[in-house]
């Protein structure tokens, strides 16, 4: 249960007539150790706290939002699914998901396995689900039989000229890799995209 809801229950025990309102977009929680599901869920996020203290997986809020300078505010945490190779449930399927400013995830779904429901938030944090569904919607488990995934997380975002360069890192005991995405900015004089 999110910490603010715990506090609300305590207040209601002492002052049962006091009516409290949950503002679900505030996300005043400590989601440990991996808040990936929340960031990748495309749910409205009004604020964070403790974003650099480890409770949010040290998410880089400045780097996450830097893409807005060239792609607009609505591009932050926007989800794109691409390179989808699907021919029904009779064959293995592979695809990539970019959650802009947070992660790039490669999914492999074995033949005969149902598709993932991306309308449900992946439950990647330690706390039990109780209380979170009210704020983030229905949840889906991290591990699903027949589904493997490899996630690159945003490590750095740098402005070079008018362009934004995002660097997504994958690290494991056996391999490390980096994916760079370059968002082309416009020339302020001509409006043309810069390379």
Q: Is 103 part of a structural domain of the chain?
A: yes
> Kind and range of the H or E element at 63?
helix 61-65
Kindly state whether residue 190 falls inside one of the protein's structural domains: no
Position 87 pLDDT exceeds 90 = no
Helix (H) or strand (E) holding 4: helix 3-14
Residue 1 has pLDDT above 50, yes or no: no
How far separated are the first and last CA of the chain, in Å rounded?
A: 47
- CB neighbour burial string for 63-93, b if at least 16 within 10 angstroms, e if fewer: bbebbbbbbeeebbbeeeeeeeeeeeeeeeb
Mean pLDDT of the region 27-38: 70
Higher pLDDT, 47 or 141: 141
Specify the pLDDT at position 6.
66
Total-model pTM: 0.78
Domain annotation covers residue 193: no
pLDDT, tens digit (0-9, with 9 covering 90-100), for 142-193: 888 999 999 999 999 999 988 999 999 999 999 899 999 999 988 767 666 6
Hey, what are 167's tokens? 């660097």
Q: Is residue 126 part of a domain?
A: yes
Q: Output the pLDDT for position 32.
A: 66
- Examine residue 192 and state whether it is found in any structural domain, yes or no: no
Instruction: Give me the number of domains the chain comprises.
Output: 1
**Domain-embedded: residue 191:** no
Tell me how far the alpha carbon of residue 44 is from its chain's centroid.
Answer: 11
Is 188 inside any structural domain?
no
Q: Which domain holds residue 14?
A: 3-183
Beta strands of the chain (E only): which ranges? 79-85, 93-99, 103-109, 121-122, 139-140, 147-160, 163-171, 176-183
Name the average pLDDT for the chain: 81
Query: For residue 83, is it within any domain?
Result: yes
DSSP 16-35: TTPPP---GGG------S--
Structure confidence at residue 57 (pLDDT): 58
In terms of phi and psi (left: phi > 0; alpha: psi -120 to 50; beta: otherwise), the region of 101 is left
Q: Which of 36, 93, 101 is nearest to 66 (CA)?
A: 101
């Amino acid at each position: 249960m999110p910490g603010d809801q715990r506090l609300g229950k305590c207040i209601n025990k002492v002052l049962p007539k006091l009516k409290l309102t949950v503002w679900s977009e505030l996300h005043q929680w400590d989601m440990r150790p991996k808040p990936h599901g929340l960031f990748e869920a495309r749910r409205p996020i009004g604020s964070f706290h403790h974003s650099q203290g480890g409770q949010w997986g040290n998410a880089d809020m400045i780097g996450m939002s830097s893409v807005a300078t060239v792609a607009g505010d609505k591009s932050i945490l926007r989800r794109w699914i691409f390179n989808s190779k699907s021919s029904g449930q009779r064959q293995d399927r592979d695809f990539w998901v970019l959650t802009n400013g947070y992660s790039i995830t490669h999914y492999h779904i074995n033949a005969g396995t149902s598709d993932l429901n991306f309308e449900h938030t992946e439950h990647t944090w330690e706390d039990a689900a109780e209380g979170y569904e009210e704020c983030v919607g229905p949840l889906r488990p991290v591990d699903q039989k027949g589904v493997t995934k490899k996630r690159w997380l945003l490590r750095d975002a740098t402005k070079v000229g008018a362009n934004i360069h995002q660097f997504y890192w994958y690290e494991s005991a056996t391999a490390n890799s980096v994916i760079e995405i370059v968002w082309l900015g416009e020339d302020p004089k001509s409006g043309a995209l810069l390379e």
